[in-house]
Amino acid sequence: MPGALSGILPRIPAMNETQIRSDVEPRLGDPDTGDHDRFAHYIIGRDPKAKITAAIVEGKPIRALCGKKWIPSRDPSRYPVCPECQEIKDRILSRRGH
């Protein structure tokens, strides 16, 4: 595959949402936040990857498996997986009998 995506750099959304974002700079390694925004959530749907990509590019929140609306990070591996999403995903997978 030629690097079809290599030239695409998602626009960083302006921080003018209704929420006050001044306090949500990622503080990696801080286990004591208890903030859902610092989890990597799962989403479900026909094309989750496309949804996540669109959410990142547009800066719009999407609904996670656990019901939380959040804007996914471009690097979800830096965040712990949301335990609620994990549980729901496991349940779905086991029901599919995979």
Which residues make up the interface to Zn ion (CB under 5 A)?
41, 64, 66, 68, 82, 84-85
Nearest distance, CB of residue 97 and Zn ion, angstroms? 24
For Zn ion, the closer of residues 55 and 85 by Cβ is 85
Using DSSP, state whether 86 is helix, strand or coil.
helix
Contact 47, 56 (CB under 8 A): no
Nearest distance, CB of residue 41 and Zn ion, angstroms? 4
Dist CA 31 CA 39 (whole Å) = 11
Nearest distance, CB of residue 15 and Zn ion, angstroms? 23
